[in-house]
Amino acid sequence: MHIEMITTHPYQDQNPGTSGLRKKVKVFQQPGYLENFVQSIFDSLEDFTGKTLVLGGDGRYFNRAAIQIIIKIAAANGFGELLIGQGGLLSTPAASHIIRKYQAFGGLILSASHNPGGSEEDFGIKYNVGNGGPAPEKDTAAFYQRSQSINAYKTIAMADVDLDNLGSQQIGDLTITIIDPVSDYAELMQSIFDFPLLKQSISSGYITLLFDAMHAITGPYARRILVDMLGAPAESVINAEPLEDFGGHHPDPNLAHAHELAEVMFSDHAPTFGAASDGDGDRNMITGSQIFVTPSDSLAIMAANAQLIPAYSAGLSGVARSMPTSQAVDRVAASYNIPCYETPTGWKFFGNLLDVGKITLCGEESFGTGSNHVREKDGLWAVLFWLNLIARRRQSVADIVHEHWQKFGRDIYCRHDYEAVETPIANAIVEHLRAQLPTLPGQVFGEYTVKFADEFCYKDSVDGSISRNQGIRVGFTNGSRIVFRLSGTGTVGATLRIYIERFEPDSSRQNQDAQVALAELIELAEQLCEVKKRTGRVGPDVMT
């Protein structure tokens, strides 16, 4: 194996965001761009010679080409084995599981998640560490720092690897194994949930379902698990073929983008249960006949019912949510007397808590829920969790949600996104908010009195690391909150996210439309941040 050193020059923009490096495909196609970033990762890691690297992606445009480039760089850098999903495919949760199961050194996952794909759209790459989870901030900071001074990367001259046939081949000291991307993951799901009960509930017609794979990675996983293993009719999985451009759509599981599913679920022929997942299979949207379950409520309901699922029957050690996620799960934790942790946005912040067993379940408002079974959020796991719940409780999704609200109260919640805002304007909005923080406490706005106003700073209770500037919070004396933060996953300009919530204990007032119930707070959010005024927009681009 002849190692070549290729001279390169640094790119200034390789600072990973909330979840890896995400850019337009054209940016990644620049000479040496992907190569630099991968070499920067390897240069920042230690002691991997002869060890195993997991490699796969969501199948979007540039996935296959990127995998061939990475294989050669990994070979030149001394990895001993590459485990690659057949066709270059691996969902993010499956990659996390495979890293853990085969005790790999780490993995590279190629995805820009829910962002659109295609030659003019987005691509992404992230490194996951040996626990199967996203690299922590100290690692991503090291990757970025290395990328700023890199002047050469290592590669080898070799023919492209056949990604489509299962099996192993030897290139010098490197073993390359093409693995079935689904089977290990399907086996894991079978070990967590009550598959015989699910099979029976589906075959008896008690549960009917519709899963929208959005032409992204979960198609093959959903077909194997829901159709082949659990016996759901083939037409229960729609848009199941992974496509390089996701059929021209955003593979983003929300009511706006998963509209085909949404139309059915709110029609008079809706099945019992409907769900969708995103580009790389880690997000989930849960719906029932005539009802959409917010991700924050979904997390709380899962926590409240976890003992009905075989893998969690002994109860939960604790739960966690990202800061902007609603406080619904906090109420469940308080009533079960288990700890509830509040972390910054980004799945990587759950890793330590899961590793030391402080939490069993965790989730985010951004359509992510997961548990200690892997170190990523997991779309199909959430789907199976809900199916198992429906089968055990013998209740509709709507009844499960309404009963939960009656018992714990409802945290009425919404998120407004202003996308592709010019970066200087977005930064000025944040500065404007920051400037108000000292004077907001005590101020009264209608029925809302500000209790606290701050910028969220997180101290990891396991390793003591501190993450500052994780979003601006304005909390009110009645428990309501408005949170402002800039997204770390966009590729154009800046996305301002505004998260709004209000607690409603009165069951006669819990069935209100969220936008209506939160109208006063939405208005107040504009008063505080002036996003409409400063951008000239009339409203948010996306409301979830």
Quick check: 488 binds ligand G16 (CB under 6 A)?
A: yes
The footprint of ligand G16 on this chain (CB under 6 A) covers a number of residues equal to 18
Quick check: 347 binds ligand G16 (CB under 6 A)?
A: yes
What is the nearest approach in angstroms of ligand G16 to the Cβ of residue 434? 18
Q: Which is nearer to ligand G16, 52 or 369 (CB)?
A: 369
Structure tokens at 301: 């309901």
Cα→Cα distances 456→82, 215, 485, Å: 39, 37, 10
Tally: H helices and E strands in the chain: 18, 27
Q: Which is nearer to ligand G16, 43 or 212 (CB)?
A: 212
Give ∠ CA 137-141-146 in degrees, rounded to 5: 150
Of the candidate residues 345, 371, 470, 491, the single one contacting ligand G16 (CB under 6 A): 345
Site map 357..396 versus ligand G16, x via CB under 6 A: -------x-x-x----------------------------
What is the nearest approach in angstroms of ligand G16 to the Cβ of residue 241? 21
Site map 75..114 versus ligand G16, x via CB under 6 A: --------------------------------------xx
Q: Which residue type does 238 have? A: I
Quick check: 277 binds ligand G16 (CB under 6 A)?
A: no
* Pairing mode of beta strands 21-24, 122-128: antiparallel
Q: Which of residues 121-140 bind ligand G16 (CB under 6 A)?
A: none
- Asked if residue 27 lies in contact with residue 63, where contact means CB atoms within 8 angstroms, the answer is no
Give ∠ CA 347-352-353 in degrees, rounded to 5: 90
Q: Which is nearer to ligand G16, 345 or 388 (CB)?
A: 345
Element (H, E) at 74: helix 63-76
Q: Which is nearer to ligand G16, 220 or 324 (CB)?
A: 324
Stretch in the footprint of ligand G16 (CB under 6 A) among 237-245, 264-272, 437-445, 486-494: 486-494
Give ∠ CA 34-218-293 in degrees, rounded to 5: 115
Quick check: 497 binds ligand G16 (CB under 6 A)?
A: yes
Q: Which is nearer to ligand G16, 282 or 460 (CB)?
A: 282
Quick check: 185 binds ligand G16 (CB under 6 A)?
A: no
> Treating both helix axes as pointing N-terminal to C-terminal, what angle do 379-393 and 195-203 enclose, rounded to 10 degrees?
70
Q: Which of 113, 289, 366, 480 is catalytic?
A: 113
Stretch in the footprint of ligand G16 (CB under 6 A) among 146-154, 334-342, 402-410, 481-489: 481-489
Q: Which is nearer to ligand G16, 19 or 140 (CB)?
A: 19
Element (H, E) at 7: strand 3-7
Burial classification of residue 433, based on how many CB atoms lie within 10 Å of its CB (0-12 exposed, 13-18 middle, 19 or more buried)? buried
113 counts as catalytic: yes
* Pairing mode of beta strands 122-128, 368-371: unpaired
Site map 310..329 versus ligand G16, x via CB under 6 A: ------------x-------
Q: Which is nearer to ligand G16, 195 or 381 (CB)?
A: 381
Of the candidate residues 106, 253, 346, 370, the single one contacting ligand G16 (CB under 6 A): 346
What is the nearest approach in angstroms of ligand G16 to the Cβ of residue 60? 13
Of the candidate residues 14, 16, 19, 74, the single one contacting ligand G16 (CB under 6 A): 19
Distance between the two ends of the chain, CA-based, in angstroms? 52
- Asked if residue 132 lies in contact with residue 185, where contact means CB atoms within 8 angstroms, the answer is no
| Torsion angle of the four alpha carbons 254, 200, 313, 363, in this order, in degrees rounded to the nearest 10 | -10
Instruction: Provide the CA 240 distance to its chain's centre, in angstroms.
Output: 20
Backbone angles phi, psi at 454, to 5 degrees: -155, 180
What is the nearest approach in angstroms of ligand G16 to the Cβ of residue 63? 16
Catalytic residues: 113
